[in-house]
């Protein structure tokens, strides 16, 4: 029996003054993408598409292409993020039980560079909701996190096993993650956590898509017109306690052979993945230290020009998973991750972001994040890259630093 055709969407975008975005978000089911106060907030659902399995990227891309072809779009603003837009979050692993989701809202409130807009998306002629302000309350919950499926002791053992495989020549790098679990009371306003993340980490992408909330410093791909950009992070250390020790830690990171090797793996993997889809590719001549409130990262920026007919979703599929979140070689690293981690990563370390009708968009790697399920369970994740010369105890400390932003947001 043939499947039903996708719905016809009528999309209109007009200027709209929005001093702040989060007050427009749904308190219990926020749909958010923002950085530095600019971004997008979605309300309601015109279309929800879900996918599982190794072909999830291709099916998502095909479904989105079909939706766009049937949409009638009137856009009077014409800046990135206007017109027809979908939010998406995709599972890390091919065999994940967690669905990959693409959501087209009924209403989008956006702001970029001083320009604000409102996009209404009607479904088969049915109008969506009107924009309403819902003030974000002060913290109405404080939750306690406990080790999940992988305890700190178990994590150290897993890293040591990964290091043994590397020293035996089985692979060059593997990223090992661990989980922490808590719960929020029924009916909690999840925007409270987003306010804390956005205020504490304004240089990161603050996001909420289908219960996945976080603040990621790593841009998987950002496409505008034919120009693309990515930011690669790999290698990190804690911030110092005072200006002198802080500078010393940043300088030590820049000359750390272990961290530089880890970073090189990540940059090479991104450039190799992009090569079939983009030209004029270039990366930072050397990694630079990226300062976050609680950690230094080694970072490199990658730029290029997309080939004709290549869109953001195609690049997202090509890049995932990068060596920064999986390892190298990719297939060997993924196999070892499945062996060492006693849990399903879900959407952690997968792509999260948005795409528009032209194929442009912004996507991050879902890091510094937690999945909030309908029963209130909150699962936070963090990982560390293991290469030759890694120390298991140090990698445990690194995951603790990476868990701090999202855990602090909920308590």
DSSP bridge pairs for 100? 51
Q: Helix, strand, or coil here: 58?
A: helix
Catalytic residue (choose from 173, 262, 317, 362): 173
Q: Do 401 and 376 meet the contact criterion of CB atoms below 8 Å apart? A: no
Q: Is 169 exposed, middle or buried (0-12, 13-18, 19+ CB in 10 A)?
A: exposed
H-type alpha helices, 123-281: 152-167, 191-200, 243-254, 257-274
User: How many other CB atoms sit within 10 Å of the CB of residue 273?
Assistant: 20
Reported in sequence order, the residue ranges of 324-391 that DSSP labels E, i.e. its strands, are 327-328, 351-356, 361-365, 369-372, 377-387
Q: At what angle do helices 312-319 and 56-69 cross, to 10 degrees?
A: 180
CA distance 252 to 235: 11
- Beta pairing, strands 31-35 & 205-209: antiparallel
Active site residue 218: yes
Contacts of 89 (CB under 8 A, 6+ apart): 100, 101, 209, 210, 212, 347, 350, 351, 352, 366
Strands 327-328 and 351-356, by their bridges, are unpaired
Q: Is 7 helix (H, G, I), strand (E, B) or coil?
A: coil
Distance CA 26, CA 105 (A): 11
Residue 95: exposure state from Cβ atoms within 10 A (0-12, 13-18, ≥19): exposed
317 among known catalytic residues: no
> SS3 of 253, please?
helix
Cα dihedral value 39, 41, 47, 52, nearest 10: 70
- Catalytic residue selected from 14, 218, 341, 404: 218
End-to-end alpha carbon distance in the chain:
50
Q: Are the C-beta atoms of 295 and 397 separated by less than 8 Å?
A: no
Q: Catalytic residues, which ones?
A: 173, 218
């Amino acid at each position: 029996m043939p499947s039903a055709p996708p719905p016809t969407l009528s999309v209109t975008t007009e200027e709209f003054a929005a001093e702040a975005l989060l007050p427009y978000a749904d308190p219990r089911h926020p749909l958010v993408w923002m950085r530095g106060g600019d971004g997008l907030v979605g309300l309601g659902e015109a279309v929800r598409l879900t996918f599982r399995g190794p072909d999830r990227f291709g099916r998502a891309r095909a479904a989105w292409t079909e939706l766009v072809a049937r949409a009638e779009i009137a856009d009077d603003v014409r800046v990135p993020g206007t017109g027809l837009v979908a939010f998406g979050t995709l599972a890390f692993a091919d065999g994940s039980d967690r669905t990959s989701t693409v959501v087209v809202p009924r209403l989008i409130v956006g702001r970029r560079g001083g320009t604000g807009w409102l996009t209404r998306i009607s479904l088969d002629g049915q109008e969506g909701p009107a924009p309403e302000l819902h003030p974000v309350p002060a913290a109405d919950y404080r939750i306690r996190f406990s080790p999940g499926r992988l305890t700190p002791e178990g994590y150290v053992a897993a890293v040591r096993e990964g290091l043994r495989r590397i020293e035996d020549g089985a692979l060059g790098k593997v990223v090992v993650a661990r989980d922490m679990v808590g719960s929020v009371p029924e009916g909690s306003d999840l925007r409270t956590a987003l306010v804390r993340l956005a205020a504490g980490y304004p240089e990161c992408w603050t996001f909420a898509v289908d219960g996945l909330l976080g603040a990621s410093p790593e841009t998987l791909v950002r496409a505008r017109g034919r120009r693309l950009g990515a930011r690669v992070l790999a290698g990190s250390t804690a911030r110092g306690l005072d200006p002198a020790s802080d500078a010393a830690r940043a300088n030590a990171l820049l000359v750390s052979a272990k961290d530089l090797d880890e970073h090189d793996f990540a940059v090479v993997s991104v450039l190799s993945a992009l090569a079939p889809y983009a030209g004029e590719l270039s990366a930072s001549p050397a990694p630079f230290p990226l300062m976050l409130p609680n950690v230094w990262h080694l970072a490199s920026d990658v730029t290029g020009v997309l080939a004709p007919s290549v869109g953001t979703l195609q690049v997202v599929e090509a890049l995932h998973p990068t060596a920064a979140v999986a390892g190298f070689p990719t297939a060997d690293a993924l196999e070892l991750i499945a062996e060492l981690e006693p849990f399903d990563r879900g959407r952690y370390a997968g792509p999260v972001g948005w795409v528009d009708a032209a194929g442009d968009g912004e996507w991050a790697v879902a890091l510094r994040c937690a999945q909030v399920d309908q029963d209130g369970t909150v699962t936070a994740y963090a990982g560390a890259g293991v290469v030759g010369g890694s120390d298991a105890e140090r990698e445990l400390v690194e995951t603790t630093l990476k868990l701090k932003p999202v855990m602090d947001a909920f308590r």
